[in-house]
Amino acid sequence: MKLPLFARTGLTLATVLLLAGCASIAPDGMRGQVQTYAARHLPEDAQLPGRDPEAQHQARERIAQWLTRPLDADQAVRIALLNNPGLQSSLARLGVQDAQRVQSLTLPNPTLTLGRFVNGHEREVERELGFGLIHLITLPWRARWQGLQIEQASLDTAQEVLRLAADTRRAWLRAVAAGQQLQARQTMFEAAQAGAELAARMTRTGNFSRLQQAREMGLEQEASAQLARARLAAALERDQLARLMGLWGAQLDFQLPAQLPAIPKNAAELQAGDDAEATALRQRLDLRALRHDLDQRAQRQGWAAAGQLFGDIGLAYSRNTATEKASGHDEATRGWEIGLPLPLLDWGGAARGRARAEVEHSAARLREAALTARSEARNTWLRYRTAWDLAHQQQAEVLPLRRFMQEEAVLRYNGMFISTWELLAEARASTQAVATATEAQRDFWLADTDLRLALAARSPAAPTPPVLSEATSTITATSH
pLDDT at 471: 37
| SS3 assignment, position 130 | strand
Q: What is the pLDDT of residues 257-312, one digit of tens each?
A: 999 999 987 764 555 555 788 888 889 999 988 888 888 787 776 665 555 555 66
b (16+ CB within 10 A) / e for 243-270: bbbbbeeeeeebebeeebeebeeeeeee
Measured distance CA(15)–CA(9) in Å, rounded: 10
Contact 77, 165 (CB under 8 A): yes
Single out the residue of 458, 278, 453 nearest to residue 372, CA to CA.
Answer: 458
Give the separation between CA 298 and CA 407, rounded to whole angstroms: 72
Q: CA 34, CA 37: separation in Å to the nearest integer?
A: 5
Q: Cβ(325)–Cβ(121) under 8 Å? A: yes
What does DSSP assign to residue 470?
Answer: S
**Concatenated DSSP letters for 225-256?**
HHHHHHHHHHHHHHHHHHHHHT--GGGGG---
The answer to whether the CB of 63 falls within 8 A of the CB of 83 is yes
Q: Which of 140, 146, 177 is nearest to 15 (CA)?
A: 140
Give the whole-angstrom CA distance, residue 286 versus residue 154: 11
State pLDDT tens for residues 113-123: 888 778 777 77
DSSP code for 41: G
Sequence letter at residue 414: N
CA distance 194 to 424: 9
Distance CA 80, CA 168 (A): 7
Element (H, E) at 21: helix 5-22
Sequence-ordered list of residues with C-beta below 8 angstroms from that of 173, at least 6 positions apart, any chain: 73, 260, 442, 445, 446, 449
**Distance (Å, whole) CA 98 – CA 348:** 31
Of 12, 40, 4, the residue nearest 283 (C-alpha): 40
The confidence score (pLDDT) of residue 345 equals 65
**Which pTM was predicted?**
0.81
Q: What is the C-alpha to C-alpha distance for residues 20 and 136, in angstroms, rounded to an integer?
A: 9
Alpha carbons 173 and 71: distance in angstroms, whole number:
11
Long-range contacts of 239-243 (CB under 8 A, 24+ apart): 240/171, 240/174, 240/175, 241/76, 241/168, 241/171, 241/172, 241/174, 241/175
Within 106-138, where are the H helices?
A: 133-137
Whether 367 and 286 have beta carbons less than 8 Å apart is answered as no
Closest by alpha carbon to 152, among 141, 144, 162? 144
How far is it, in rounded angstroms, from Cα 354 to Cα 180? 58
Could you give the CA distance from residue 180 to residue 400 in angstroms, rounded to a whole number? Answer: 18
What is residue 464's predicted lDDT score, i.e. its pLDDT? 59
**Distance from C-alpha of 160 to C-alpha of 247, rounded to nearest angstrom:** 19
Q: Do 127 and 320 form a contact (C-beta atoms < 8 A)?
A: yes
- SS3 at position 6: helix
Each residue's pLDDT tens digit in the chain (480 positions)? Answer: 454 544 444 455 555 455 445 567 778 888 888 999 999 999 988 899 888 888 888 989 999 999 999 999 999 999 999 999 999 999 999 888 888 888 777 777 788 888 877 877 777 878 787 767 667 766 776 777 777 788 888 999 999 999 999 999 999 999 999 999 999 999 888 888 888 888 888 888 888 788 888 888 888 898 899 999 999 999 999 999 999 999 998 989 999 999 999 998 776 455 555 578 888 888 999 998 888 888 878 777 666 555 555 566 666 778 777 777 677 777 787 877 777 666 666 666 676 777 788 888 888 999 998 999 998 988 999 899 899 999 999 988 898 888 888 888 888 877 777 777 787 788 888 888 888 999 999 999 999 999 999 999 887 766 555 555 443 333 333 333
Please state the φ and ψ torsions of residue 418, each to the nearest 5 degrees.
Answer: -130, 160
* Identity at 278, one-letter amino acid code: A
Under 8 Å between Cβ of 454 and 380: yes
Q: Which residues contact 36 (CB under 8 A, 6 or more apart)?
A: none
Q: Of 172, 175, 171, 166, whose CA–CA distance to 87 is shortest? A: 166
Which of 281, 294, 293 minimizes the C-alpha distance to 456? 281
CA atoms within 13 A on the CB side of 367: 6
CB-CB contact of 428 with 406 (8 Å): no
Classify residue 271 by its DSSP letter.
P
The pLDDT value recorded for residue 470 is: 44
